[in-house]
Chain A
Protein backbone atom coordinates (compact mmCIF):
# COMPACT_ATOMS: atom_id res chain seq x y z
CA UNK A 1 0.00 0.00 0.00
CA UNK A 2 1.41 3.33 -1.07
CA UNK A 3 -0.55 5.54 1.37
CA UNK A 4 -1.81 4.34 4.72
CA UNK A 5 -4.47 6.53 6.31
CA UNK A 6 -4.35 4.66 9.59
CA UNK A 7 -0.67 5.45 9.88
CA UNK A 8 -1.41 9.07 9.06
CA UNK A 9 -3.86 9.38 11.97
CA UNK A 10 -1.42 7.61 14.23
CA UNK A 11 1.46 10.02 13.62
CA UNK A 12 -0.66 13.17 13.36
CA UNK A 13 -0.55 14.12 17.07
CA UNK A 14 3.23 13.72 17.19
CA UNK A 15 3.65 15.85 14.07
CA UNK A 16 1.31 18.51 15.39
CA UNK A 17 3.37 18.72 18.55
CA UNK A 18 6.50 19.04 16.45
CA UNK A 19 4.89 21.77 14.35
CA UNK A 20 4.61 23.84 17.52
CA UNK A 21 8.40 23.59 17.85
CA UNK A 22 8.80 24.65 14.20
CA UNK A 23 6.56 27.65 14.73
CA UNK A 24 8.37 28.54 17.95
CA UNK A 25 11.74 28.40 16.22
CA UNK A 26 10.34 30.54 13.38
CA UNK A 27 8.87 33.22 15.62
CA UNK A 28 11.81 33.39 18.02
CA UNK A 29 14.33 33.31 15.18
CA UNK A 30 12.51 36.05 13.32
CA UNK A 31 12.06 38.22 16.40
CA UNK A 32 15.82 38.02 16.89
CA UNK A 33 16.45 38.70 13.19
CA UNK A 34 14.13 41.73 13.23
CA UNK A 35 15.96 43.28 16.18
CA UNK A 36 19.51 42.34 15.11
CA UNK A 37 18.77 43.46 11.56
CA UNK A 38 17.74 46.92 12.73
CA UNK A 39 20.77 47.22 14.98
CA UNK A 40 23.10 46.14 12.16
CA UNK A 41 21.45 48.53 9.71
CA UNK A 42 21.86 51.47 12.07
CA UNK A 43 25.48 50.58 12.95
CA UNK A 44 26.21 50.24 9.26
CA UNK A 45 24.96 53.79 8.66
CA UNK A 46 27.22 55.19 11.38
CA UNK A 47 29.32 58.17 10.43
CA UNK A 48 32.33 56.53 12.08
CA UNK A 49 34.15 54.15 9.76
CA UNK A 50 35.35 52.24 12.80
CA UNK A 51 31.75 51.12 13.25
CA UNK A 52 30.30 51.05 9.75
CA UNK A 53 33.06 49.09 7.99
CA UNK A 54 33.30 46.17 10.44
CA UNK A 55 29.50 45.98 10.56
CA UNK A 56 29.31 45.80 6.77
CA UNK A 57 31.98 43.07 6.83
CA UNK A 58 30.09 41.01 9.41
CA UNK A 59 26.85 41.33 7.42
CA UNK A 60 28.60 40.27 4.24
CA UNK A 61 30.27 37.34 6.00
CA UNK A 62 27.00 36.06 7.45
CA UNK A 63 25.20 36.41 4.13
CA UNK A 64 27.96 34.66 2.22
CA UNK A 65 28.19 31.52 4.34
CA UNK A 66 25.56 28.77 4.44
CA UNK A 67 23.04 28.78 7.26
CA UNK A 68 23.77 25.11 7.93
CA UNK A 69 27.41 25.84 8.64
CA UNK A 70 26.43 28.67 10.97
CA UNK A 71 24.09 26.33 12.83
CA UNK A 72 26.85 23.74 13.21
CA UNK A 73 29.31 26.36 14.23
CA UNK A 74 27.17 27.72 17.03
CA UNK A 75 26.15 24.28 18.26
CA UNK A 76 29.41 22.34 17.92
CA UNK A 77 32.20 24.93 17.96
CA UNK A 78 30.98 27.40 20.58
CA UNK A 79 31.25 24.69 23.30
CA UNK A 80 34.99 24.56 22.56
CA UNK A 81 35.07 28.10 23.88
CA UNK A 82 33.02 27.16 26.91
CA UNK A 83 29.64 28.24 25.54
CA UNK A 84 27.35 25.22 25.56
CA UNK A 85 23.91 25.95 24.19
CA UNK A 86 20.84 23.73 23.98
CA UNK A 87 20.11 22.74 20.37
CA UNK A 88 16.96 24.85 20.13
CA UNK A 89 18.74 27.95 21.48
CA UNK A 90 21.68 27.46 19.13
CA UNK A 91 19.28 27.02 16.22
CA UNK A 92 17.27 30.13 17.04
CA UNK A 93 20.45 32.19 17.37
CA UNK A 94 21.74 30.93 14.01
CA UNK A 95 18.42 31.68 12.30
CA UNK A 96 18.28 35.11 13.94
CA UNK A 97 21.82 36.02 12.93
CA UNK A 98 21.51 34.75 9.39
CA UNK A 99 18.20 36.38 8.65
CA UNK A 100 19.18 39.43 10.70
CA UNK A 101 21.91 40.05 8.13
CA UNK A 102 19.34 39.84 5.34
CA UNK A 103 16.83 41.98 7.20
CA UNK A 104 19.51 44.62 7.81
CA UNK A 105 19.68 45.22 4.06
CA UNK A 106 15.92 45.67 3.98
CA UNK A 107 16.01 48.07 6.89
CA UNK A 108 18.85 49.95 5.26
CA UNK A 109 16.79 50.50 2.14
CA UNK A 110 13.95 51.74 4.33
CA UNK A 111 16.20 54.05 6.31
CA UNK A 112 17.82 55.47 3.21
CA UNK A 113 14.43 56.19 1.71
CA UNK A 114 13.51 58.60 4.48
CA UNK A 115 14.04 62.02 2.90
CA UNK A 116 17.07 64.00 4.03
CA UNK A 117 14.75 66.83 5.02
CA UNK A 118 13.47 64.69 7.90
CA UNK A 119 16.98 64.43 9.34
CA UNK A 120 17.53 68.13 8.81
CA UNK A 121 14.27 69.08 10.49
CA UNK A 122 15.27 66.85 13.41
CA UNK A 123 18.62 68.60 13.70
CA UNK A 124 16.99 72.00 13.42
CA UNK A 125 14.71 71.02 16.32
CA UNK A 126 17.78 69.82 18.21
CA UNK A 127 16.45 66.28 18.67
CA UNK A 128 19.10 63.86 19.90
CA UNK A 129 20.23 61.09 17.54
CA UNK A 130 18.36 58.55 19.68
CA UNK A 131 15.04 60.42 19.59
CA UNK A 132 15.53 61.17 15.90
CA UNK A 133 15.84 57.47 15.13
CA UNK A 134 13.13 56.36 17.52
CA UNK A 135 10.43 58.93 16.82
CA UNK A 136 11.17 60.33 13.37
CA UNK A 137 13.22 58.00 11.18
CA UNK A 138 12.26 54.47 12.20
CA UNK A 139 8.49 55.06 12.17
CA UNK A 140 8.85 56.22 8.57
CA UNK A 141 11.45 53.69 7.48
CA UNK A 142 9.79 50.49 8.66
CA UNK A 143 6.19 50.47 7.38
CA UNK A 144 7.23 50.53 3.69
CA UNK A 145 9.57 47.55 4.18
CA UNK A 146 7.23 45.36 6.20
CA UNK A 147 6.26 43.31 3.12
CA UNK A 148 9.93 42.64 2.35
CA UNK A 149 10.52 41.63 5.97
CA UNK A 150 7.48 39.38 5.74
CA UNK A 151 9.02 37.57 2.79
CA UNK A 152 12.08 36.83 4.92
CA UNK A 153 9.79 35.52 7.64
CA UNK A 154 8.41 32.98 5.18
CA UNK A 155 11.90 32.16 3.92
CA UNK A 156 13.15 31.64 7.47
CA UNK A 157 10.17 29.42 8.22
CA UNK A 158 10.98 27.23 5.25
CA UNK A 159 14.58 26.83 6.42
CA UNK A 160 13.74 25.62 9.92
CA UNK A 161 14.12 21.96 8.78
CA UNK A 162 17.87 22.67 8.81
CA UNK A 163 17.60 22.57 12.59
CA UNK A 164 17.05 18.81 12.27
CA UNK A 165 20.79 18.66 11.61
CA UNK A 166 21.41 19.42 15.28
CA UNK A 167 18.49 17.23 16.37
CA UNK A 168 15.99 19.94 17.32
CA UNK A 169 12.70 18.08 17.51
CA UNK A 170 10.96 20.23 14.94
CA UNK A 171 8.82 18.83 12.13
CA UNK A 172 11.54 17.50 9.88
CA UNK A 173 13.50 15.78 12.62
CA UNK A 174 10.29 14.27 14.00
CA UNK A 175 9.29 13.02 10.55
CA UNK A 176 12.71 11.45 10.11
CA UNK A 177 12.44 9.67 13.46
CA UNK A 178 8.92 8.45 12.70
CA UNK A 179 10.11 7.20 9.33
CA UNK A 180 13.08 5.35 10.72
CA UNK A 181 10.92 3.68 13.36
CA UNK A 182 8.28 2.42 10.95
CA UNK A 183 10.29 2.32 7.73
CA UNK A 184 7.50 4.39 6.19
CA UNK A 185 8.65 7.79 4.99
CA UNK A 186 5.95 8.66 2.49
CA UNK A 187 3.32 9.80 4.98
CA UNK A 188 5.44 11.77 7.46
CA UNK A 189 7.47 13.58 4.81
CA UNK A 190 4.39 14.34 2.71
CA UNK A 191 2.52 15.66 5.74
CA UNK A 192 5.43 17.87 6.68
CA UNK A 193 5.64 19.19 3.13
CA UNK A 194 1.90 19.86 3.15
CA UNK A 195 2.17 21.67 6.44
CA UNK A 196 4.89 23.97 5.10
CA UNK A 197 2.91 24.58 1.94
CA UNK A 198 -0.25 25.55 3.80
CA UNK A 199 1.54 27.72 6.34
CA UNK A 200 3.55 29.52 3.66
CA UNK A 201 0.43 30.23 1.63
CA UNK A 202 -1.41 31.52 4.67
CA UNK A 203 1.54 33.70 5.64
CA UNK A 204 1.88 35.10 2.11
CA UNK A 205 -1.81 35.95 2.02
CA UNK A 206 -1.48 37.64 5.39
CA UNK A 207 1.53 39.64 4.20
CA UNK A 208 -0.34 40.81 1.11
CA UNK A 209 -3.20 41.92 3.33
CA UNK A 210 -0.85 43.87 5.57
CA UNK A 211 0.81 45.33 2.49
CA UNK A 212 -2.38 46.71 1.03
CA UNK A 213 -3.61 48.14 4.31
CA UNK A 214 -0.17 49.67 4.81
CA UNK A 215 -0.30 51.24 1.38
CA UNK A 216 -3.61 52.75 2.26
CA UNK A 217 -2.43 54.22 5.56
CA UNK A 218 0.91 55.38 4.12
CA UNK A 219 -0.90 57.31 1.43
CA UNK A 220 -3.22 58.80 3.96
CA UNK A 221 -1.94 58.78 7.54
CA UNK A 222 -4.60 59.44 10.11
CA UNK A 223 -7.44 58.26 7.89
CA UNK A 224 -9.97 60.55 6.26
CA UNK A 225 -10.60 63.97 7.64
Chain B
Protein backbone atom coordinates (compact mmCIF):
# COMPACT_ATOMS: atom_id res chain seq x y z
CA UNK B 1 0.00 0.00 0.00
CA UNK B 2 1.21 3.49 -0.81
CA UNK B 3 1.95 5.97 1.95
CA UNK B 4 -1.11 8.09 2.66
CA UNK B 5 -0.74 11.75 1.66
CA UNK B 6 -2.57 12.78 4.83
CA UNK B 7 -3.08 10.75 7.95
CA UNK B 8 -4.93 11.73 11.11
CA UNK B 9 -3.85 9.36 13.82
CA UNK B 10 -6.15 9.51 16.85
CA UNK B 11 -6.38 13.29 16.63
CA UNK B 12 -8.33 15.08 19.33
CA UNK B 13 -9.16 18.75 19.40
CA UNK B 14 -10.75 20.50 22.37
CA UNK B 15 -11.81 24.07 22.99
CA UNK B 16 -11.84 24.30 26.76
CA UNK B 17 -14.10 21.51 27.91
CA UNK B 18 -15.73 21.10 24.50
CA UNK B 19 -14.33 18.18 22.52
CA UNK B 20 -14.68 19.19 18.89
CA UNK B 21 -12.90 16.23 17.35
CA UNK B 22 -12.74 12.97 19.19
CA UNK B 23 -9.88 10.58 18.32
CA UNK B 24 -10.16 11.14 14.61
CA UNK B 25 -8.61 8.54 12.34
CA UNK B 26 -8.54 9.34 8.66
CA UNK B 27 -6.19 8.38 5.86
CA UNK B 28 -6.23 10.06 2.50
CA UNK B 29 -4.35 8.56 -0.43
CA UNK B 30 -2.23 10.65 -2.82
CA UNK B 31 -4.45 12.24 -5.45
CA UNK B 32 -7.60 11.19 -3.65
CA UNK B 33 -10.57 13.61 -3.63
CA UNK B 34 -12.46 13.57 -0.36
CA UNK B 35 -15.68 15.43 0.32
CA UNK B 36 -16.51 16.23 3.92
CA UNK B 37 -20.16 16.71 4.74
CA UNK B 38 -22.12 16.99 7.95
CA UNK B 39 -24.24 19.28 10.05
CA UNK B 40 -23.03 22.66 11.19
CA UNK B 41 -20.73 22.43 14.22
CA UNK B 42 -19.74 18.82 13.57
CA UNK B 43 -16.05 19.75 13.27
CA UNK B 44 -15.58 19.87 9.47
CA UNK B 45 -13.81 23.23 9.42
CA UNK B 46 -11.68 22.21 12.38
CA UNK B 47 -10.33 19.21 10.46
CA UNK B 48 -9.07 21.47 7.67
CA UNK B 49 -7.76 24.14 10.04
CA UNK B 50 -5.72 21.60 11.99
CA UNK B 51 -4.25 20.29 8.77
CA UNK B 52 -3.38 23.85 7.71
CA UNK B 53 -1.74 24.31 11.15
CA UNK B 54 -4.14 27.14 11.97
CA UNK B 55 -5.16 25.20 15.08
CA UNK B 56 -2.99 23.22 17.46
CA UNK B 57 -4.19 19.72 18.21
CA UNK B 58 -4.56 18.41 21.74
CA UNK B 59 -3.80 14.78 21.12
CA UNK B 60 -2.67 12.43 18.38
CA UNK B 61 -0.46 13.02 15.37
CA UNK B 62 -1.10 14.33 11.87
CA UNK B 63 1.16 12.98 9.12
CA UNK B 64 1.63 14.59 5.73
CA UNK B 65 3.25 12.62 2.93
CA UNK B 66 4.56 10.08 5.42
CA UNK B 67 6.13 12.62 7.72
CA UNK B 68 4.75 13.77 11.07
CA UNK B 69 3.60 17.37 10.80
CA UNK B 70 2.29 18.24 14.25
CA UNK B 71 5.31 16.51 15.73
CA UNK B 72 8.92 15.87 14.83
CA UNK B 73 11.28 13.08 15.61
CA UNK B 74 13.89 13.73 18.24
CA UNK B 75 16.10 10.94 19.59
CA UNK B 76 13.61 8.39 18.31
CA UNK B 77 10.61 9.98 20.06
CA UNK B 78 7.91 12.28 18.71
CA UNK B 79 7.95 15.75 20.26
CA UNK B 80 5.67 18.69 19.40
CA UNK B 81 6.80 20.37 16.20
CA UNK B 82 8.84 23.55 16.27
CA UNK B 83 7.69 26.57 14.26
CA UNK B 84 10.44 25.76 11.78
CA UNK B 85 9.26 22.21 11.30
CA UNK B 86 5.67 23.40 10.83
CA UNK B 87 6.82 25.89 8.21
CA UNK B 88 8.57 23.21 6.23
CA UNK B 89 5.76 20.65 6.25
CA UNK B 90 3.00 23.22 5.79
CA UNK B 91 4.49 24.01 2.38
CA UNK B 92 2.77 20.85 1.12
CA UNK B 93 -0.65 22.24 1.86
CA UNK B 94 -2.78 25.01 0.39
CA UNK B 95 -6.13 26.26 1.56
CA UNK B 96 -9.06 28.17 0.11
CA UNK B 97 -11.31 29.90 2.62
CA UNK B 98 -15.02 30.50 2.75
CA UNK B 99 -14.48 34.27 2.76
CA UNK B 100 -11.61 34.27 0.22
CA UNK B 101 -9.21 36.23 2.48
CA UNK B 102 -7.51 37.87 -0.47
CA UNK B 103 -5.06 40.66 0.32
CA UNK B 104 -7.21 43.72 -0.42
CA UNK B 105 -4.27 46.07 -1.04
CA UNK B 106 -2.78 43.92 -3.78
CA UNK B 107 -3.93 43.29 -7.33
CA UNK B 108 -5.02 39.79 -8.33
CA UNK B 109 -1.60 39.23 -9.87
CA UNK B 110 0.29 40.47 -6.79
CA UNK B 111 -1.88 38.29 -4.56
CA UNK B 112 -0.58 35.30 -6.51
CA UNK B 113 3.05 36.50 -6.54
CA UNK B 114 3.62 37.37 -2.89
CA UNK B 115 4.25 33.92 -1.45
CA UNK B 116 6.11 32.44 -4.44
CA UNK B 117 8.59 35.33 -4.22
CA UNK B 118 9.04 35.43 -0.46
CA UNK B 119 8.56 31.79 0.47
CA UNK B 120 9.75 29.84 -2.57
CA UNK B 121 12.31 32.49 -3.48
CA UNK B 122 11.24 32.67 -7.12
CA UNK B 123 12.62 35.56 -9.15
CA UNK B 124 9.97 38.22 -9.73
CA UNK B 125 9.72 37.55 -13.47
CA UNK B 126 9.15 33.86 -12.96
CA UNK B 127 6.63 34.44 -10.15
CA UNK B 128 4.72 36.82 -12.39
CA UNK B 129 4.69 34.34 -15.24
CA UNK B 130 3.38 31.60 -13.00
CA UNK B 131 0.76 33.89 -11.45
CA UNK B 132 -0.41 35.00 -14.89
CA UNK B 133 -0.68 31.41 -16.08
CA UNK B 134 -2.76 30.44 -13.06
CA UNK B 135 -5.06 33.43 -13.43
CA UNK B 136 -5.54 32.43 -17.06
CA UNK B 137 -6.36 28.94 -15.92
CA UNK B 138 -9.09 30.14 -13.55
CA UNK B 139 -10.48 32.31 -16.34
CA UNK B 140 -9.28 35.67 -15.04
CA UNK B 141 -6.56 36.44 -17.56
CA UNK B 142 -8.15 39.83 -18.23
CA UNK B 143 -8.43 40.79 -14.54
CA UNK B 144 -4.78 40.53 -13.45
CA UNK B 145 -4.48 44.18 -12.47
CA UNK B 146 -7.80 44.31 -10.65
CA UNK B 147 -7.99 44.65 -6.89
CA UNK B 148 -10.23 42.31 -4.87
CA UNK B 149 -12.78 45.08 -4.29
CA UNK B 150 -13.16 45.38 -8.05
CA UNK B 151 -14.00 41.70 -8.47
CA UNK B 152 -17.19 39.73 -7.88
CA UNK B 153 -17.25 37.10 -5.14
CA UNK B 154 -16.85 34.31 -7.66
CA UNK B 155 -13.88 36.04 -9.26
CA UNK B 156 -12.29 36.67 -5.87
CA UNK B 157 -12.63 33.04 -4.95
CA UNK B 158 -11.02 32.03 -8.24
CA UNK B 159 -8.10 34.35 -7.50
CA UNK B 160 -7.84 32.70 -4.08
CA UNK B 161 -7.63 29.30 -5.75
CA UNK B 162 -4.93 30.54 -8.11
CA UNK B 163 -3.04 32.08 -5.19
CA UNK B 164 -3.02 28.78 -3.29
CA UNK B 165 -1.98 26.82 -6.40
CA UNK B 166 0.93 29.18 -7.03
CA UNK B 167 2.66 27.52 -4.06
CA UNK B 168 2.48 24.11 -5.81
CA UNK B 169 0.90 22.32 -2.86
CA UNK B 170 0.38 18.56 -2.87
CA UNK B 171 -2.80 18.89 -0.84
CA UNK B 172 -5.54 21.46 -1.36
CA UNK B 173 -8.17 22.24 1.26
CA UNK B 174 -11.49 23.87 0.40
CA UNK B 175 -13.74 25.05 3.21
CA UNK B 176 -17.25 25.75 1.96
CA UNK B 177 -15.72 27.87 -0.76
CA UNK B 178 -19.05 28.66 -2.40
CA UNK B 179 -21.12 29.36 0.72
CA UNK B 180 -20.45 33.09 0.71
CA UNK B 181 -21.32 33.46 -2.98
CA UNK B 182 -24.47 34.56 -4.71
CA UNK B 183 -26.10 31.48 -6.29
CA UNK B 184 -25.35 32.57 -9.85
CA UNK B 185 -21.60 32.72 -9.04
CA UNK B 186 -21.32 29.24 -7.54
CA UNK B 187 -21.04 27.49 -10.90
CA UNK B 188 -17.92 29.32 -12.09
CA UNK B 189 -16.00 28.40 -8.93
CA UNK B 190 -17.09 24.77 -8.99
CA UNK B 191 -16.11 24.61 -12.65
CA UNK B 192 -12.55 25.62 -11.72
CA UNK B 193 -12.39 23.02 -8.95
CA UNK B 194 -13.74 20.38 -11.31
CA UNK B 195 -10.97 21.14 -13.78
CA UNK B 196 -8.34 21.07 -11.06
CA UNK B 197 -9.53 17.69 -9.92
CA UNK B 198 -9.35 16.31 -13.46
CA UNK B 199 -6.17 17.89 -14.76
CA UNK B 200 -3.86 18.08 -11.75
CA UNK B 201 -2.52 15.41 -9.51
CA UNK B 202 -3.65 16.97 -6.27
CA UNK B 203 -4.96 15.50 -3.09
CA UNK B 204 -8.12 17.42 -2.30
CA UNK B 205 -10.24 17.77 0.81
CA UNK B 206 -13.42 19.66 0.39
CA UNK B 207 -15.96 20.65 2.99
CA UNK B 208 -19.17 21.30 1.13
CA UNK B 209 -22.94 21.52 1.34
CA UNK B 210 -23.21 21.02 -2.41
CA UNK B 211 -24.24 17.36 -2.43
CA UNK B 212 -24.54 17.20 -6.20
CA UNK B 213 -21.00 18.44 -6.60
CA UNK B 214 -19.67 16.14 -3.88
CA UNK B 215 -21.19 13.20 -5.73
CA UNK B 216 -19.46 13.87 -9.03
CA UNK B 217 -16.20 15.23 -7.61
CA UNK B 218 -15.33 12.92 -4.75
CA UNK B 219 -13.75 9.49 -4.63
CA UNK B 220 -14.95 9.26 -1.06
CA UNK B 221 -17.42 11.10 1.12
CA UNK B 222 -16.99 11.43 4.88
CA UNK B 223 -20.04 12.27 6.92
CA UNK B 224 -19.11 14.04 10.16
CA UNK B 225 -21.31 14.05 13.19
CA UNK B 226 -20.37 15.43 16.63
CA UNK B 227 -16.65 15.37 15.99
CA UNK B 228 -16.52 11.86 14.56
CA UNK B 229 -16.78 10.32 11.14
CA UNK B 230 -20.19 8.71 11.46
CA UNK B 231 -20.08 7.12 8.03
CA UNK B 232 -17.87 7.17 4.96
CA UNK B 233 -17.78 5.56 1.58
CA UNK B 234 -17.96 6.00 -2.16
CA UNK B 235 -20.42 8.76 -3.11
CA UNK B 236 -22.83 6.36 -4.84
CA UNK B 237 -23.08 4.22 -1.72
CA UNK B 238 -23.25 6.98 0.84
CA UNK B 239 -25.76 9.11 -1.01
CA UNK B 240 -27.93 6.34 -2.36
CA UNK B 241 -27.79 3.81 0.46
CA UNK B 242 -26.74 5.50 3.68
CA UNK B 243 -26.43 2.91 6.43
CA UNK B 244 -26.53 5.16 9.46
CA UNK B 245 -29.71 6.78 10.60
CA UNK B 246 -27.92 10.08 11.27
CA UNK B 247 -26.67 10.11 7.70
CA UNK B 248 -30.14 9.44 6.36
CA UNK B 249 -31.59 12.22 8.48
CA UNK B 250 -28.92 14.67 7.42
CA UNK B 251 -29.25 13.85 3.74
CA UNK B 252 -33.00 14.09 3.70
CA UNK B 253 -32.83 17.43 5.57
CA UNK B 254 -30.31 18.79 3.06
CA UNK B 255 -32.28 17.53 0.07
CA UNK B 256 -35.45 19.09 1.42
CA UNK B 257 -33.71 22.43 1.82
CA UNK B 258 -32.64 22.07 -1.82
State the A residues within 8 Å of B (CB).
115, 117-118, 120-121, 123-128, 131, 135-136, 139-140, 219-222, 225
Contacts and interface: CB of A to CB of B under 8 A. Distances in A.
A80 B74 CA distance: 51
A124 B165 CA distance: 11
Given A123-B52, A124-B52, A125-B115, A139 B149 contact: no
Given A120-B97, A127-B119, 17 more contacts: A117-B97, A120-B52, A120-B101, A121-B102, A123-B52, A123-B53, A124-B94, A124-B95, A125-B114, A125-B119, A126-B91, A126-B167, A127-B115, A221-B105, A222-B149, A225-B145, A225-B147
Contact of B101 (A121, A222, A225): A121
Nearest to B104: A221
A140 B149 CA distance: 14
Contacts of A118: 101, 103
Nearest to B119: A126
Contact of B150 (A127, A140, A225): A225
B164 A124 contact: yes
Contact of A222 (B103, B150, B167): B150
Interface centre among B95, B104, B150 (most CB of A within 10 A): B104
B101 A131 contact: no
Does more than half of chain A's interface fall in helix, strand or loop, or is it mixed?
helix
Contacts, number: 73
Contacts of B87: 126, 128
Interface residues on B, range: 20 to 34
A117 B180 CA distance: 14
Interface of B: 52-54, 87, 90-91, 93-95, 97, 99, 101-105, 107, 114-115, 118-119, 145-147, 149-150, 163-164, 167
Residue of A126, A220, A222 with most chain B CB atoms under a 10 A cut-off? A126
B97 A128 contact: no
Contacts of A117: 97, 99, 101
| Residue from the set A125, A131, A136 with the largest chain B CB neighbour count within 10 Å | A125
Nearest to A129: B83
A26 B252 CA distance: 69
B96 to A, nearest CB: 9
Contacts of A222: 107, 145-147, 149-150
B103 A120 contact: no
